[in-house]
Structure 1
Amino acid sequence: MDAVSISDGLIILATLLSPVIAVQVTRHLDERNEVRGRKLSIFKTLMATRSYVFSWAHVEALNRIDLEFMKSHKKEKAVVEAWKAYHDHLSHGDVTTAHWGSTRVDLMVELLHKMALVLDYDFDKTHIKNSSYAPQYHADTEGQLAAIRKGLIEVLDGQRVVPMVVTNLPNQND
């Protein structure tokens, strides 16, 4: 009879605890998916904007790396270390040299590759480096907009004058 009452007690206990356990497991899975989703958002933004490194979205995604990738996990620590190296390069050096630009690209590719490994994407470094599309029109437009902004600022600061030519003077006798 004791065996029956122990099994009945275990059934009652399991019946009472199973909803609590189910809720806890669901919360844990939801939190894990949310954390992964934030990491994926950063990675997808950086991949999508890797040819537009001055875009606001690209810069924002870079600045979110420290928040979302934990230094305690070995693979994620590699992401943070790659970001530190990339950030250091972006913050120093002569941006006008070809060497600086090629090193920047290599460091960004390294960062994206480390992120791909953490997120289980099968991208090799060559694919990351060479598979983005950026029309020349976008580069031309950005260059023109930068020139317009620079010129306008120079005019407003009094460093440049706006040339004017009068082509039609009113008749002085009228």
Structure 2
Amino acid sequence: MSVLNELKAADWAIIFATLLGPVLAVQAQKWLEALRERRNAKHRVFAQLMATRKERLSPDHVRGLNMIALTFYGAKYFKLRLTSKTETAVLRAWKAYFDHLHIVLDEHTAAALTIQREELFIDLLAAMAMDLGYDLDKVELKRGAYSPNWHGIVEDEGNRLRKSLVEVFEGQRPIGMHIVNFPPTAAGEVAPTSGPGQRGDGGSTSEPR
């Protein structure tokens, strides 16, 4: 009887474990590294949005929003996609907020839509916090951010300045001019008049009687 026939099931298990052990260990290490990188990516996006939640027009904030669909996509093994419940909640909250961002605000609907948009954004942050294990409620997410009033003033002034410049370049807004004083005239030159019968220096141009 050969040696192979004398081996029992337990012996075969030991052999396979000895042969496959290093391979499985390497694969397990790769899986843990991928899992750690996914979590770190989520942390970076969440921290970026938290830091800029009072600066919705900043490039960093927009960049963070655009990374949500990728970082919370879930894990993909071969052709199988595995998404947790909390990741699915984040993607749903992002879709609702994303759709609302494309609604054009006007003077009649701006107030109501701005409130709705703020609530959807807070829902998004809350879903991300839950996925990452942070115990943050919506009130804290909404009121816990600090932004000096000066930042809002600068942003508002910048928006008004850009709007005014665009209107000027498009011919919708004239450039107002106001002459404060005429330059002094040389001897023998006639000063420009600022009105009927008036010289630039305020004197009368009529002949003496």
- Work out whether the TM-score is over 0.5: yes
2:146 aligns with 133
Is it true that 1:121 corresponds to 2:134 in the alignment? yes
Displacement after TM superposition at 1:47 (Å):
1.1
1:54 aligns with 57
Say which of 25, 39, 43 aligns to 2:42. 39
Higher relative contact order (CA 8 A, sep 6+): 1
- Return the index of the structure with the highest Cα Rg: 2
Gaps of 5+ in 1: none
Cα distance change of structure 1 residues 110 and 140 upon mapping to structure 2, 3 Å threshold: same
Q: How does 1:3-152 map to 2 (within 5 A)?
A: 10=14, 14=18, 18-70=21-73, 72-92=83-103, 94=105, 96=107, 97-152=110-165
**Aligned partner of residue 175 in structure 2, secondary structure:** coil
Q: CA RMSD in A?
A: 2.8
Cα distance change of structure 1 residues 147 and 94 upon mapping to structure 2, 3 Å threshold: closer
Is it true that 1:171 corresponds to 2:185 in the alignment? yes
* TM-score, structure 2 as length reference: 0.70
Displacement after TM superposition at 1:121 (Å):
0.8
**Which amino acid is 2:130 matched to?**
L
| CA distance, structure 1, for counterparts of residue 106 and residue 70 of structure 2 | 27
**Which amino acid is 2:33 matched to?**
D
Displacement after TM superposition at 1:98 (Å):
2.0
2:201 aligns with none
| CA distance, structure 2, for counterparts of residue 117 and residue 12 of structure 1 | 41
**Aligned partner of residue 158 in structure 1, secondary structure:** coil
| CA distance, structure 2, for counterparts of residue 45 and residue 37 of structure 1 | 12
* TM-score, structure 1 as length reference: 0.82
**Which amino acid is 1:116 matched to?**
A
Which deviates the most, 53-62 or 70-79? 70-79
| CA distance, structure 1, for counterparts of residue 131 and residue 151 of structure 2 | 31
Cα distance change of structure 1 residues 13 and 114 upon mapping to structure 2, 3 Å threshold: closer
Displacement after TM superposition at 1:67 (Å):
1.5
| CA distance, structure 2, for counterparts of residue 94 and residue 150 of structure 1 | 16
In the alignment, is the contact (CA less than 8 A) between 1:79 and 1:114 conserved in 2? yes
Gaps of 5+ in 2: 75-82, 190-209
In the alignment, is the contact (CA less than 8 A) between 1:93 and 1:100 conserved in 2? no
Displacement after TM superposition at 1:168 (Å):
3.8
